[in-house]
């Protein structure tokens, strides 16, 4: 294994394996205001209508892991003590389209589909995600609706499923379906469970990449690593990746709305700009100022049912910096 770092990748939370460790800590850290960020609107649609989220559980899932992820999804549009997941989503709502409509605050978990038979195998290409959606909407009698008005499909693959580029270049990605495969164009995102395959890569900061050649970050209260607020590094890491992808698919669903950079095939999107940033002062291997619960687990936002989560910040277009509700300034 080579060194771990961050890289811009197609609509993804992305990691490259061939640059240096400095990039891991600093390349994408715009926690401080930066006039160098050229995030622009490219005239395409955003997700301004209430979102109907459809989750496809691909493979074999632990029910308690599913419950944690479900509670995170419910928390996006539910009240919880400040700073909440919904407060975190406020920065995403600041993005508008050419009609002046903002991204919606209303995200409903409208359906779930259990693809426990691994309908498309245990090694998935990027393109096969579209076939998984197609199978889920064609399945009877428990198939998902094909909602082309305001549907958003989220495929979550279990620990034993390998996905093209997963753990090598990406932890998740978003894109949209082709009518030739699914029948219509709908936005979707995929996130993999990294807890067994590559926690050091995709469940940072709850796991540390041993092959990075660097010591784990200090300053987490004497622990080498931050402890996961819901008890599983893979799931708690996945939640931040899900948050990342939901923020990006909402602001750039057809890859022609909000992104930085000149190349639409490698856009830098609103969460890419803030990778590794979870609180004030992030950078240099430090995740930023976050909270600790009474068991010493790290978190930065509250959710439903007393849940706590750690989600990365996103680029706030009004403040022109990475921002989250747990900011101290």
Ligand X SMILES: *[C@@H]1O[C@H](CO)[C@@H](O)[C@H](O)[C@H]1NC(C)=O
Check binding of 93 to ligand X (CB under 6 A): yes
Total binding residues toward ligand X, as defined by CB under 6 A: 6
| Footprint (CB under 6 A) of ligand X, residues 130-189 | none
Whose Cβ is closer to ligand X: residue 94's or residue 109's? 94
Helix (H, G, I), strand (E, B) or coil at 175: strand
| Footprint (CB under 6 A) of ligand X, residues 201-230 | none
Rounded CA-CA distance 288/316 in Å is 17
Can you tell me which of 2, 102, 106, 218 binds ligand X, judged by CB under 6 A? 102
CB of 251 to ligand X, least distance (A): 11
Q: Element (H or E) spanning 309, and its range?
A: strand 308-309
Rounded CA-CA distance 69/63 in Å is 10
Whose Cβ is closer to ligand X: residue 93's or residue 126's? 93
CB of 39 to ligand X, least distance (A): 12
CB of 316 to ligand X, least distance (A): 9
CB of 87 to ligand X, least distance (A): 12
**Judging by beta carbons within 10 Å of its beta carbon (0-12, 13-18, 19+), is residue 172 exposed, middle or buried?**
buried
Whose Cβ is closer to ligand X: residue 14's or residue 51's? 51
| Residues 6 or more apart in contact with residue 220 via CB below 8 angstroms | 205, 226, 298
CB of 306 to ligand X, least distance (A): 27
| Residues 6 or more apart in contact with residue 260 via CB below 8 angstroms | 37, 38, 39, 40, 267, 268, 269, 273
- Of 35-43, 90-98, 172-180, 228-236: span binding ligand X (CB under 6 A): 90-98
CB of 65 to ligand X, least distance (A): 32
Q: Element (H or E) spanning 172, and its range?
A: strand 170-176
Can you tell me which of 27, 94, 260, 266 binds ligand X, judged by CB under 6 A? 94
SS (H, E, C) 1-64: CCCCEECCCCCEEEEECCCCHHHHHHCCCCCCCCCCCCCEECCCCCCCCCEEEEEEEECCCCHH
Check binding of 96 to ligand X (CB under 6 A): yes
- Of 44-52, 93-101, 116-124, 214-222: span binding ligand X (CB under 6 A): 93-101
- Interaction site with ligand X (CB under 6 A): 93-94, 96, 102, 317-318
């Amino acid at each position: 294994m080579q060194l771990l770092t961050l890289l811009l990748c197609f609509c993804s939370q992305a990691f490259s394996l061939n640059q240096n460790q400095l990039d891991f800590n600093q390349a994408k850290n715009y926690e401080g205001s930066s006039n160098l960020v050229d995030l622009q609107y490219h005239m395409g649609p955003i997700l301004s209508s209430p979102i109907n989220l459809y989750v496809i559980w691909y493979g074999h899932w632990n029910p308690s892991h599913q419950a944690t992820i479900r509670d995170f999804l419910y928390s996006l549009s539910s009240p919880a003590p400040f700073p909440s997941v919904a407060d975190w989503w406020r920065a995403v709502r600041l993005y508008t389209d050419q009609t002046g409509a903002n991204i919606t605050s209303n995200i409903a978990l409208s359906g779930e589909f259990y693809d426990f038979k691994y309908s498309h195998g245990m090694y998935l290409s990027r393109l096969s995600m579209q076939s998984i959606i197609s199978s889920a909407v064609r399945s009877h009698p428990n198939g998902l609706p094909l909602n082309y008005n305001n549907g958003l499909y989220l495929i979550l693959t279990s620990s034993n499923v390998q996905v093209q580029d997963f753990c090598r270049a990406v932890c998740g990605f978003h894109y949209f379906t082709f009518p030739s495969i699914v029948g219509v164009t709908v936005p979707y995102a995929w996130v993999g469970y990294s807890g067994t395959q590559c926690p050091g890569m995709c469940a940072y900061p709850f796991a540390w990449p041993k092959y990075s050649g660097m010591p784990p970050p200090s300053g987490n209260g004497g622990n080498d690593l931050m402890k996961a607020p819901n008890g599983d590094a893979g799931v708690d890491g996945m939640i931040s990746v899900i948050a990342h992808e939901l923020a990006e698919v909402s602001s750039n669903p057809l890859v022609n709305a909000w992104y930085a950079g000149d190349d639409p095939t490698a856009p830098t999107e609103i969460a890419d700009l803030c990778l590794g940033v979870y609180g004030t002062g992030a950078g240099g291997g430090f995740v930023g100022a976050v909270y600790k619960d009474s068991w010493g687990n790290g978190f930065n936002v509250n959710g439903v049912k007393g849940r706590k989560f750690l989600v990365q910040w996103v680029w706030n277009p009004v403040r022109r910096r990475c921002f989250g509700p747990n900011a101290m300034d």
